[in-house]
A and B are shown apart, each in its own frame.
Chain A
Amino acid sequence: QQQVKQSPQSLIVQKGGIPIINCAYENTAFDYFPWYQQFPGKGPALLIAIRPDVSEKKEGRFTISFNKSAKQFSLHIMDSQPGDSATYFCAAKNNAGNMLTFGGGTRLMVKP
């Protein structure tokens, strides 16, 4: 049973486009929502994260939008570049737990 559902599984955009990756969760005890970026042959690395007391967070070209009532959050990549081609994972952490629950991942390709 996957507690964090991520979509789409794959995404292709042109350079300069704005890919959007969505995640939904059920557990209202989650209190930390990170996004990880993974390049082929490497481990995931933290990209950006948000807590449920804010609705949006921006870091450079990456933005998380958070909708607490809908239990959904999404990653937007502004002015996407071929170097952004990677697999992206959303995740959530329970305020009473120790570890992260991950979504299924989205493989993004940005065409030049």
Chain B
Amino acid sequence: NAGVTQTPKFQVLKTGQSMTLQCAQDMNHEYMSWYRQDPGMGLRLIHYSVGAGITDQGEVPNGYNVSRSTTEDFPLRLLSAAPSQTSVYFCASRLRQGYEQYFGPGTRLTVT
């Protein structure tokens, strides 16, 4: 089992550029989510999905889009990057009946 994988590990964008952060899990978890981590703010939920074809907004969804076409993949799209989106992004997954969330290794994004 690879667990939760994320690509890329690092990314630098210019303001206004778009990109997609990739997330995949091989544990057949129904729930997947995206968090951003900023100093002193903990982890804040951006978007989440309770299964293929179903997504919902978290605490800080503005500027981000998601889709869930398969159980395994949950990409996060930045439509027009802004410096305020400079952060470390984590993808996580868990079973529908479970409580433990498994996190990926993170993507460090810098927007200049």
Contacts and interface: CB of A to CB of B under 8 A. Distances in A.
A35 to B, nearest CB: 12
Interface in B35-71: 35, 40-45, 48, 50, 58
A44 B50 contact: no
Given A2-B42, A89-B43, 17 more contacts: A6-B42, A34-B100, A43-B92, A43-B106, A44-B90, A49-B99, A98-B31, A98-B50, A99-B45, A99-B48, A99-B58, A100-B45, A100-B101, A101-B45, A102-B43, A104-B41, A105-B42
A32 B90 CA distance: 21
Nearest to A45: B103
Nearest to A2: B42
Contacts of A93: 99
Contact of A44 (B31, B43, B44, B58): B43
A27 to B, nearest CB: 14
Interface residues of B, number: 22
Contacts of B100: 34, 46, 49
Interface in B9-42: 31, 33, 35, 40-42
Interface in A79-112: 89, 93, 98-105
Nearest to B40: A104
Contacts of A43: 4, 90, 92, 103-106
Interface of B: 4, 31, 33, 35, 40-45, 48, 50, 58, 90, 92, 99-101, 103-106
B103 A44 contact: yes
Contact of A104 (B42, B58, B90, B99): B42
Interface in A1-41: 2, 4, 6, 9, 32, 34, 36, 41
A61 interface: no
Nearest to B100: A46
A105 B40 contact: yes
A112 B24 CA distance: 39
